[in-house]
Amino acid sequence: MHNDDLADELRKERDRFVAFSFAFADIVLEMDLDGTILFVDGATNGLLGREAESLNSQCFFSLMDTEEGNQLRSQLENLKQAYRLDKQEIHLKNQYQDSIPFLLSGFRLSQLHPHIYLTLSLQKGDVPHDQLFRRDMDTGLLNTGSFVESANQRIHEAEAQGEHLAMTLLDFPELKGFLDTLPKDKAEELLLAIANYLREHSVAGDTAGMISDEAFSFVHKETLESAQVIEDLIKLTKQIDPAGKGIEIRSQRVKADAQKLSPQDSANVLLYTLNQFAETAGENFDIHGLAESYDQLLNATVEKIKHFKQTLDDEQFNLAFQPIVDLKSGLIHHYEVLVRMKDPEIFKNPFDFINFGEKSGVISDFDLLMTQKTLEVIKKLAAEGNTPLVAVNISGKSIESTLFKDSLLRIVEENSSYRKQIIFELTESSKITNLKSANEFIQNLRDQGNLFCLDDFGTGESSFEYLRNLQVDFIKIDGSYVRESLQTHRGRHMLKAMAALCKDLNVTTIGEMVEDEASAALLWEVGVKFGQGYLFGKPEVDEQTILNCKKPTPYYQGMMRAKKVNDPQKKWWSNS
């Protein structure tokens, strides 16, 4: 083909790209690998206040904040043949330097020329966070949740076409320590090399995920040999290793099929399996044991999901209520509603039940049902002239689901007369990645009368990030801090600092796992207002127990009364 014919063909390809892209996007553009815009068309004037022609030859990354631009640049630099970037959330600046939210998709067809094609769609309102693909910042690989979505989609598409795929789990038990021995640029080079290899060999070029710091997974054609994957990846590590030895890599291929499940259930099975893989990968991980038991694990997971849903459908659990007490007066302020299993055959205790729900992606169904059942109790007691205040837990996993948020809003709106009797406790067992969206949802509920509490504060790495970004009414300080504060001066100062910070932020504190008078006294002394634990009462399944709201607990007399009958020289009674 002559050069003129090739150029004409490329123009036709671009015209097709533009025509099809406009069916789904507001702006389309083409740029080179340095980010220089070569072609742009669409609603640039209306959305950005810039004529399309004025954007030609500009650097695309200059249209966004430096940090976001650098992150996107890093991802696009790693585009390989047939690689596609799906549903990336970005923000472009208009002529007034306002930040305009867009959804970006892109692809590169290197067999034509080394250019990148992008489509930009204006985000109209709050785009569901659970419909966005999230990536690891250093590698550009999908995170676990986004990998599950992408992998599940590809698996179902392949099955519909009669094609067979496989999924490979990769464990790098020495990777973290090995990276620490390398210069920063070499460590980054190795991570990107691994990421590029996995993307290049994955289905559609983007079905590869980073499951943990040392665990990866990708979906690929069934013909790809596992031995070749290991050989290639070890070779990459040897090229970076100054000693030329490389590091150990272990793999396990699993059959990628949908088990004749619904798309949602098969995604839940995949998510749970990957979470189990991430937790057990490393020093004590027997990947060969997984090879022998994967089918059993998969089948067991399917059965557990069915049992989880059946437990909800048949309401095979009881509500239990535990008091939260004012440390000064000894009066019960409100109750937290907990779950107790009726049938412990599969889920031996509430922790196993809730933990499985979060890992398998079905926890939001439980959170909604607990809210409904709690409201039923409140309505029943309100009809008798009582107005108890009750706290209901919701998972961080749930609050990132648009479907859950819409459903919860509908439930509380349908029970608007009783909503002010509900406190929502947001647990940190599952990390929230979109704190802005979460806070908007929380404020929506607070504006309508609901109170919010951050549970287990201090246990996770995100606790202070949550406190900085989420406006709430209470935080519940984890019981480990209470125990440590009784044992060490350092623990005591940490607890006092937490209480002081929350007071400055106008957030009320609750101390957990208060089991004796000494713990209660110490909490009160350092400035914590409420306490929860066996000292004040164990969880009771009798719903009538919450009628004790605003009454003294029979097990604790409160600091104000206690100081009248105890030695006033004891330091913990000294604060009035």
CATH number for the domain that contains residue 40: 3.30.450.20
Instruction: Note the pLDDT of residue 348.
Output: 79
Dist CA 170 CA 285 (whole Å): 11
What pLDDT shows up at residue 573?
34
Clarify whether residues 222 and 249 are in a common domain: yes
- The mean pLDDT value for 281-304 works out to 58
Domain boundary among 97, 125, 153: 125
Give yes or no: residues 293 and 323 share one domain: no
pLDDT at 319 over 90: yes
Q: pLDDT, tens digit, for every residue of 388-420?
A: 999 999 998 899 888 899 999 999 999 999 999
Residues 434 and 498 in one domain: yes
Q: Are residues 320 and 302 in the same domain?
A: no
Q: Of 107-121, 131-145, 420-434, which one has max mean pLDDT? A: 420-434
Contact 514, 536 (CB under 8 A): yes
Task: Give me the amino acid identity at 320.
Answer: A
337 and 255 fall within a common domain: no
Q: Would the pLDDT of 446 be above 80?
A: yes
Q: Nearest-CA neighbor of 232 among 193, 187, 281, 264?
A: 193
Mean pLDDT across 240-248: 86
- Please tell me whether residues 337 and 477 are part of one structural domain: yes
pLDDT at position 472 is 95
What is the pLDDT at residue 192? 86
In a domain, 266, yes or no: yes
Is residue 498 within 8 Å of residue 469, measured between CB atoms?
A: no
pLDDT score recorded for residue 28: 85
Residues ≥6 apart with Cβ < 8 Å to 101: 89, 90, 91, 122, 123, 127
Residues 120-125, mean pLDDT to the nearest whole number: 70
Asked if 203 and 220 count as a contact pair (C-beta separation under 8 A), the reply is: yes
CA 195 to chain centre: 21
- Identify the CA nearest to 168 among candidates 129, 198, 125, 141: 198
Residue pLDDT, tens place only, 174-232: 898 899 999 988 888 888 889 888 988 888 777 888 888 888 989 888 889 989 999 99
Share of the chain above pLDDT 70, in %: 80
Residue 490 has pLDDT above 50, yes or no: yes
Contact 300, 529 (CB under 8 A): no
Do 20 and 65 lie in one domain? The reply is yes
Q: Choose the weakest-confidence range: 184-188, 205-209, 263-267, 444-448.
A: 263-267
Average model confidence (pLDDT) for the chain?
81
Range of 288's domain? 144-306
The pLDDT, as a whole number, for residue 401 is 84
Q: Do 369 and 447 have their domain in common?
A: yes
Q: How many C-beta neighbours within 10 Å does residue 158 have?
A: 19
pLDDT tens digits, one per residue of 23-53: 567 788 888 888 899 888 877 876 787 888 8
Boundary residue ending a domain (306, 338, 362): 306
Q: Looking at 285, 306, 327, which one is the last position of a domain?
A: 306
Q: Name the pLDDT band for 339 (thresholds 50, 70, 90).
A: very high
